[in-house]
A and B are shown apart, each in its own frame.
Chain A
């Protein structure tokens, strides 16, 4: 219980341990823990950011999907319209073609009629002469009555 040199010895030991702690323990542990804190903070921040990114991506995906749906609907709509148009066009074309064919047919018929008439007209004189010969019992000189015959043919 006496105060003696021990008090100074203890002081020196104390100081040496504090210095050891100052040099080898405290800064190392502080560094490790600060580094870990930093890493945890970074990790949390990253997680936060990832969450936000995910949300953003989901939103974007939704938007893209919606756009795609709209586009698809648009395309279907357009296709329908185009189909209707094509049908209309086809109908119109058919009608026009039919009319054209009809007109051609009518022309053909006209032509046939007129050609038949021409042919008939050519033969009228011969027929008339043959008929008259039968009636008169003589030969009719075609040259003598040519003017009358031509007149008949034109009247025909």
Chain B
């Protein structure tokens, strides 16, 4: 297989960025394509890392995304560490910087919960806080330049084809996992508040129910209600999970495309070709580092007064031309522009997930009989 050339094409780049690091069980008799073009047939079912997306697909349900779980775990621990520390050291009279920040977030989430959720439940507040901060942190990973962490992981592991997605919320497993947990809690609280009978009644006798005089009409209305309410119920977690996933997935895709377009243009330049001949596979990191160092040095010399402004501009222009035309500058600006927009997106999506979870919890507690 020509995996060397595949990694350099646009499709390969994008596909590589969208595949999770999957550890799973390959079924017996599976034909594995090796990097050198040979093929291995597995004699028995094997637990292994997937080398291609086909392998990941073949693993079916018996697989975990190590990167998704690892990053979400790490970011969750970060949340627990920061907030737990702030809570432990919280002082009533003299809040420090960290405590003020934590209290700001807490106050914000608490207000949302108080505004939407009017019932007695100890779990809703902490859940809303966890979701908001955790989802925000996971989304925030999207703002780390798309190639940095995956390239770092490749260097550390020594495997140039390692799949490594750093944004857990661009994995539907993560978002749907959270959404279905929320769904589960919804059903638990619904049953707890209204009883099993009340919950079933809500599904079957709502929104259409005939009065006693026309009781026979219910033979038609109850199935219709059931269908309607079940669809509405199931739609809640799915829309909750997919909304977050879709937004982040699209956002990351744009970052990948921007990186692809501009790095492609940069690599087509003269200097990059020279670097590529020296460093072959690892051109990516070293090249960008070189470009960064040269430009920063020019700016620094200008700042220190060792270089007049006119000369510095001229030098920068030449450097940029050598490094890869103006594509670096353009890429930087495009990245920055999308980053600014995306900061809004990730915050809003974290907020939406939090608010909707709280609303769903409130719906689970709401008794329909009282409204009529």
Residues on A lying within 8 angstroms of B by beta carbon are: 1-11, 13-18, 20-22, 24-26, 28-30, 32-33, 35-36, 39
Contacts and interface: CB of A to CB of B under 8 A. Distances in A.
Interface stretch (B166-174, B196-204, B205-213, B273-281): B166-174
A9 B69 contact: yes
A14 B181 contact: yes
Contact of B62 (A5, A17, A22, A36): A5
Interface residues of B, number: 52
Contacts of B103: 29, 32-33
A14 B178 contact: yes
A29 B98 CA distance: 13
B106 interface: yes
Contacts of A30: 106, 110, 125
24 contacts: A1-B171, A4-B24, A4-B65, A5-B24, A5-B62, A6-B63, A6-B171, A6-B173, A10-B68, A10-B168, A11-B177, A17-B76, A17-B130, A17-B134, A18-B123, A18-B130, A20-B130, A21-B127, A22-B126, A24-B84, A26-B126, A29-B87, A33-B106, A36-B92
A16 to B, nearest CB: 8
Interface in B73-127: 73, 76, 79-80, 83-84, 86-88, 90-93, 102-103, 106-107, 110, 122-123, 125-127
Interface string B226-239: 00000000000000
Interface in B156-178: 168, 171-174, 176-178
B129 interface: yes
Nearest to B109: A26
Contacts of A2: 22, 56-57, 59-60, 63
A142 B332 CA distance: 174
A10 B129 contact: no
B30 interface: no
Contacts of B87: 24-25, 28-29, 32
Interface in B168-193: 168, 171-174, 176-178, 180-181
Nearest to A33: B103
A13 B76 contact: yes
B18 A1 contact: yes
Contacts of B356: none
A146 to B, nearest CB: 133
A25 B72 contact: no
Contacts of B129: 21, 25-26
B64 interface: yes
B181 A5 contact: no
B214 interface: no
B219 interface: no
Contact of B123 (A5, A22, A33): A22
Given A7-B176, A13-B76, A25 B126 contact: yes
Contact of B83 (A7, A11, A13, A25): A25
B125 A26 contact: yes
